[in-house]
Amino acid sequence: MEQGEKIIANQEEFFNQNAQSQKIPTRESLFTTYANKEQINGFLWIENQRKILEYGCGTGTSLDIFFKNRQRNKYKICGVDIAQLAIDKAKENYPQFNFYKISNNKIPQIKNDSLDAVFMFHVLHHADKYQEIFREIHKKTKKGGRFLINDLTSNNPFNKLARLIFIFMPNFVKRKFGDDLVVGESIPKKNKVSPEKIRVQLEEVRFEIQEMGYGHLFFFVFGWLDRFIPFSKVTFVRFFYKKLISLEKALLRYTFFQNGAEVFYIKCIKK
């Protein structure tokens, strides 16, 4: 959906604007759970930790997923982000937790070796100097603490093809994707992320990789299609989609298909 739009390179500026813009809530469907499955599974890996940092928390959308079925009083959550207005919104929804605006990939508000776990969702493709971010997170995490990353690769050929529809029907697409990262005519600059490079950088700052995985080969496209015509409400089509999900999972075990995955996740531990 990117052609013809204004691309904002200053992420702080974009995400401050984004925090103020009214978003249309996503319609719950088979696809919303499927789209978030790497995050949902990742949360199971850190849910028994108490002191947790979300790096690049934005307005707190991922915290909403985390706290869908967990008690807030079991956790000491801290969120950091470069966008003050996003943090203000997160604080409104989670007044019992601490949120800090940060800059230059540094978190002076948090003591060294103090965090049980950190998670970072969809930040890398908006950031640079990853090594600096990883080094800072490593410093703030306890020995044996967990670090979970979930991000987009932008490698998926089907998604690239599907985005072409925007050229022909921009307004129609915009109406259907009201929850997307678009403010007026602007979208944020996005970087292509190489999961392999990220793995190497994490190891360089002495994180030990526990698990790495890939998601979403062609299923995003079906999810998009469902916004235009909600086929997934039809029982027969839901059955077909579920079969496709199994096929996609099987294909993503092979390197060839992993290279075209839209999403990757990495679970690692501070040595």
Ligand X SMILES: C[S@@+](CC[C@H](N)C(=O)[O-])C[C@H]1O[C@@H](n2cnc3c(N)ncnc32)[C@H](O)[C@@H]1O
Residues making contact with ligand X (CB under 6 A): 11, 15, 56-58, 61-62, 81-83, 86, 102, 105, 121-123, 126-127
Cβ nearer to ligand X, comparing 156 with 232: 156
* Strand ranges for 49-97 from DSSP E: 51-55, 76-81
C-alpha 106: how far from chain center: 20
Q: Are 222 and 248 in contact (CB under 8 A)?
A: no
CB of 144 to ligand X, least distance (A): 24
CB of 187 to ligand X, least distance (A): 11
Nearest to 125 by CA among 1, 268, 258, 263: 263
Cβ nearer to ligand X, comparing 35 with 217: 35
Distances (CA, A) of 89 to 93, 116, 186, 269: 7, 25, 21, 30
In the complex, residue closest to ligand X by CB: 58
Cβ nearer to ligand X, comparing 102 with 225: 102
CB of 238 to ligand X, least distance (A): 27
Cβ nearer to ligand X, comparing 28 with 255: 28
Cβ nearer to ligand X, comparing 183 with 241: 183
Question: Residues of 143-161 as b/e, b for ≥16 C-beta within 10 angstroms?
Answer: eebbbbbbbbbebbebbee
CB of 185 to ligand X, least distance (A): 18
Q: What angle do CA 216, 156, 3 make, to 5 degrees?
A: 125
CB of 227 to ligand X, least distance (A): 19
Q: Strands 141-152, 115-121: parallel, antiparallel or unpaired by DSSP?
A: parallel
CB of 193 to ligand X, least distance (A): 12
Cβ nearer to ligand X, comparing 80 with 252: 80
Backbone angles phi, psi at 191, to 5 degrees: -100, 150
CB of 259 to ligand X, least distance (A): 23
Nearest to 214 by CA among 157, 156, 269, 131: 156
d(CA 56, CA 53): 9
| CB atoms inside a 10 Å sphere around CB 54 | 24
Cβ nearer to ligand X, comparing 73 with 103: 103
